[in-house]
A = this chain, B = another copy of it.
Amino acid sequence: MRESVTLTEKFFEVINHEGVVSIVSWGQNEPHIVNTWNSYLHVTNDERILIPAAGMHSIEADLAKNDKVKLTMGSKDVQGLFTTGAGFRIEGTAKLLATGNDYELMFNKFPFLTRVLEITITTLKQTL
């Protein structure tokens, strides 16, 4: 198992408030960006992030060429580095899961999903 990157208390405080998450992937040409909600993120005990995916076809095509992703998320309701409003940027790698325990767990919470986007975190940076 990968060593913990220690998601911070502030990170969990942010994702416990509602907000927009952006996920960026890139293959050979221009990058793609899709959104989800803070409340849709499920953090596993070993600090992977699971996200319900319905659509995300541009991301899927990019991941076939390059599995790196960048994510950002934030909340204006959490005290940040500069003022009220905190945000994070995550870099990592991603995989789309269509079977398995993590898929079942997420499908029970989000019956609209067709796959689960699993993010393995490389770096976490508080930007705001």
Contacts and interface: CB of A to CB of B under 8 A. Distances in A.
A97 interface: no
B31 A70 contact: yes
A68 interface: yes
Query: Counting chain B CB atoms within 10 Å of each CB, which of A22, A24, A87, A128 scores highest?
Result: A22
Contacts of A73: 20
Contacts of A26: 26, 30-31
A34 interface: yes
Nearest to A25: B31
Interface in A8-50: 18-20, 22, 24, 26, 30-31, 33-35, 37, 39
Would you call the interface of chain A mostly helix, strand, loop, or mixed? strand
B33 A76 contact: no
A2 B92 CA distance: 39
A72 B87 CA distance: 15
14 contacts: A19-B20, A20-B20, A20-B75, A20-B76, A20-B87, A22-B35, A24-B31, A24-B33, A26-B30, A26-B31, A31-B70, A34-B72, A35-B128, A39-B76
